[in-house]
Structure 1
Amino acid sequence: MIMDKKEKEFVDPKMTPTRSPRSIAMGAAFLMAMAAVGPGFLTQTATFTGEMGANFGFAILLCIIVDFIVQMNVWRIIVVSGKRAQVIANEVLPGLGYVLSFLVAVGGLLFNIGNIGGAGLGLNVLFGISPENGAVIAACIAIAIFVAKNAMTVVDRTVQLLAVVKIGILIYIICVMAVPYQAAVTHTFMPTNINFYSIVTIIGGTVGGYISFSGGHRLIEGGMKGEKELKYVNEGAITGIGVASLIRILLFLAGLAVVSVGYKLDPSNPAASIFKYAAGNFGYKFFGLLLFAAGMTSTLGSTFTSISFLNYARKEKSEAKMARYNRLLVMGFIIFSTVVFYFIGEPAKILVVVGAINGFILPISLAILLIAAKKKDIIGKYHHSWFLTITGWFVVVFMLYASVEAVLNLL
């Protein structure tokens, strides 16, 4: 891949080996998709399906639409500019990148407490060990993946394998349940009850915050930059959106099948209730495997993306210096998340609340990139799609409105 010598991204050979653009794009696709459907998504979807029934399908539909608009905008603008989002933000307005880094990194850190806790709870279900000790084991696995030789390749392969596990489990659960498809379709497109808090939370928890940038920053890490890469950007974004959307729909249908027969989900672990009702203790063990997979993939995604927001390097020498500290930052991020969970716990509450917070971050971060897309000193001669621009601003306005409505309804 040919890159300008003065501005080329530094790629640590220990972190990312030489790979084809399509391979890198697929790695970014699954990193984004699996970060989007982690323990937070499981908890949020089960909780709101239990409260709203088939009407929650409308929130899932909006989530998929917003996901497409956000990811297509973010991936294209980041790769064409060849810069990470925080660097772009600083060029839009000096100092704005540091604000964005703070919002995304803190949100990612809080989410990671729930992610690592979710992986620990998964091991608790599978093997009976305490959730706290399970979280420690999950943290050690995550750190081992990041410090391995060719770490990002290992991350990509791990995430792809766990994606297959998650989809397989959900398809099995759907097959053994009586899903009310007609009610699901009807209320998804013609809801009788719209809950803005559920919309903000599910979009924020599966599209907002660090998740918006996980794919784009993975492409930059892989050395992809410039308008010539847009073919692979589009392929990766659409693949990631498709995989995440499939999992969103499958879990919603599974939850709806349970609540439609009058079964009350356990508020302390609503997602587990779905699997236990569907297939007894066997289904509960399946849930443990799903939760562990979801926790691990989201831990990898949130850690990688949050740490990438601390990197403001723009030249090879600065990139090399940052690479030397990267593994220490990764280890510190995961260890801190694990320690907080170990002594505080309650990941279910954390995941729902942080999802709502990320709902506020999404319109801010997307607006910054949409402004950047009109600045030639940032993206050069590239003309950003008018369709993506218009729909992007629509998402900004809608999410601001929905976020305010959600807060007002909670007061």
Structure 2
Amino acid sequence: MATSAIGPGFLTQTTVFTQRLGASFGFVILASIVLDIGAQLNIWRIIVVAEKRGQEIANLVIPGLGHLLAVLVAFGGLAFNIGNIAGAGLGLTALAGITPEAGAVVSAVIAIGIFLVREAGKAMDRFSQVMGVLMIGLTLYVAFTSAPPVGEAIIKSLAPETVDMMAIVTLVGGTVGGYITFAGGHRLLDAGLRGRSALPDATRSAVSGVTLASIMRVLLFLATLGVVSQGLALDAANPPASVFKLAAGALGYRFFGVVMWSAAITSVIGSAYTSVSFIETFSAGLERNRRWVIIGFILLSTLVFLGVGRPVKVLILAGALNGLILPLALGTMLVAAYRKRIVGDYRHPVWMTIFGACVVLVMAYMGGHTLMVEVPKLFAH
């Protein structure tokens, strides 16, 4: 889940919003962490105790709702995966000097190769873990070399000069919105962790997943803050690359290539796996040929990128739109938590329900405001 969240959009959003908000972006990160944990803790626990995928639970709440949720999640996953493939290509461009298109094709072949391995689930988990450690280590180095004003970041994280609702919605959407929040929940089911006995595992995994993604977010925030506080300008065409290059020179640019590729390839894998886990229940044929459907999903994402490409603004928009899926998904799970035919005699903690309901209301309000007011401003410039 954490490495699915840390993709090209994650890197781009964090860099762009830090440049715009400065140290006050720390408050946005803190607010998003609270909302992320509130959403993911509820959804994963309910999925595990119900022993059903998100769309199956939604169909039991309201017939047909699961199909709608599956279409929204799969569509959002495809949109993000086009950006993930593009990001993988850009990463290899910085690392090896090849064209983004060639890098995208090479990355797609590697991702497909992981799903061709007999123990694809274990291979996917291990690969994601190694890439996650690598990303955090390299970004920590760049954050250190950029010498950010840590004291100012701490103060303004608690007392911001401005509160940007679009930034909060985009960050939550990019961390636990759309397909991402279900990535770990569905993976737990596939790994055999299900029923009430698995609730401690679900709780621990949900919190640790958000924590890992947030550590990466904070490190990139500090690295970017260190660069912009020196008055240095970021390249609008590739803001994250600018941060690494300005902070650590040519070596930093190579590090960016590794981080971008690692973030992108793990997100390609997570997006394809989770999106297909939603649509495979539409028919027995899809479920039987799950591996080939995942491979087809990756191929389609690659072909669309080769034909169209993706601008920075689209990645930010994708995060914001994924944030709009979250209130529907989480609200449905909270209703399911009180249906005995779905969760049996399990009693969902009241504080979690209240926490989750607050997340639904906050995200629905901020998501609606973002869609109606902020997104048109973004594309007007």
The TM-score normalised by the length of structure 2 is 0.96
Matched, 1:94 2:58: no
- In 1, Cα distance between the equivalents of 2:49 and 2:311? 37
1:73 corresponding residue in structure 2: 42
- Quote how far apart the aligned CAs of 1:265 are: 1.2
Instruction: State the distance in 2 between where 1:210 and 1:323 align.
Output: 18
What pairs with 1:105-120 in structure 2 (closer than 5 Å)? 105-120=74-89
Residues 1:128 and 2:119 aligned together = no
Counterpart of 2:25, as a letter, is F
Alignment of 1:6-405 (within 5 A): 32-312=1-281, 322-405=286-369
Q: Which residue of 2 aligns with 1:4?
A: none
Structure 1 residue 224: deviation in Å? 2.0
> What is the RMSD of the two structures over their aligned residues, measured on CA atoms?
1.3
In 2: Cα distance, 1:33 partner to 1:251 partner: 15
What amino acid is the match of 2:316? V
Where structure 2 has 5 or more consecutive residues not aligned to the other structure, the ranges are 377-381
Q: CA deviation at 1:202?
A: 1.4
How many Å separate the matches in 1 of 2:366 and 2:184? 25
Q: Give, as a single letter, the amino acid of the residue that structure 2 aligns with 1:193.
A: T
Shift in Å, 1:408: 3.7
Describe the superposition over 1:214-250 as per-residue Cα deviations: whole angstroms up to 9, x where unpaired.
0000011112211011121122222212211111111
Instruction: Report deviation, 1:348.
Output: 2.5
Structure 1 CA distance for aligned equivalents of residues 311 and 350 of structure 2: 40
Task: Single out whichever of 130-139 and 62-71 deviates more from structure 2.
Answer: 62-71
Extract unaligned runs of 5+ from structure 1.
Answer: 1-31
Match of 1:26 in 2: none
1:3 paired residue number: none
Q: Distance in 1 between matches of 2:192 and 2:256?
A: 37
d(CA) in 1 for partners of 2:175, 2:287: 28
The one-letter amino acid of 1:394's match is: C
SS at match of 1:110: helix
Separation in structure 2 between the aligned mates of residue 349 and residue 326 of structure 1, nearest angstrom: 32
Name the CA distance, whole Å, in 2 between partners of 1:346 and 1:85. 29
Q: Contact 1:43–1:270 (CA<8 Å) still a contact in 2?
A: yes
- The code of the aligned residue for 1:270 comes to P
Structure 2 residue identity aligned to 1:101: A
CA distance in 2, matches of 1:379, 1:114: 37
Give the number of aligned pairs: 375
Deviation at 1:368, TM superposition (A): 0.4
Runs of 4 or more, structure 1, over 6 Å off, are none
CA distance in 2, matches of 1:360, 1:73: 17
Does the Cα contact within 8 Å between 2:280 and 2:290 map onto a contact in 1? Answer: no
Letter in structure 1 aligned against 2:106:
I
Code of the residue aligned with 1:126 in structure 2: it is L
- Do 2:144 and 2:223's aligned partners in 1 also have CA atoms closer than 8 Å? no
1:310-357 CA deviation, whole Å, 9 max, x = no partner? 1328xxxx87x5543112211110011001111111252331111111
SS of the residue 2:279 aligns to? coil
Whole-Å separation in 2 of the counterparts to 1:275 and 1:260: 14
Instruction: Encode CA deviations 1:97-126: one digit per residue, 9 max, x unaligned.
Output: 000001000000000000111011100111
TM-score by length of 1: 0.89
Residue 23 of structure 1 aligns with which residue?
none
2: distance between equivalents of 1:342 and 1:166? 26
Q: Check conservation: 2:148, 2:225, Cα contact below 8 A.
A: yes
Partner SS, residue 162 of structure 2: coil
* CA deviation string 1:173-213 (max 9, x = no partner): 12222111111111111111111111111111121000110
Find the aligned partners of 1:376 and 1:138 in 2 and give their Cα distance.
45
SS of the aligned residue for 1:191 comes to coil
- Partners in 2 of 1:206 and 1:166 — Cα distance? 16
- Distance in 1, matches of 2:78 and 2:372, equals 26
Structure (1 or 2) with the greater helix fraction: 2
Q: Is the 8 A contact 2:89 2:100 kept in 1?
A: yes
- TM-superposed deviation, 1:46: 0.4
- Partners of 2:367 and 2:74 lie apart in 1 by 20
Deviation per residue, 1:75-94 (Å, 9 max, x gap): 10000000000000000000
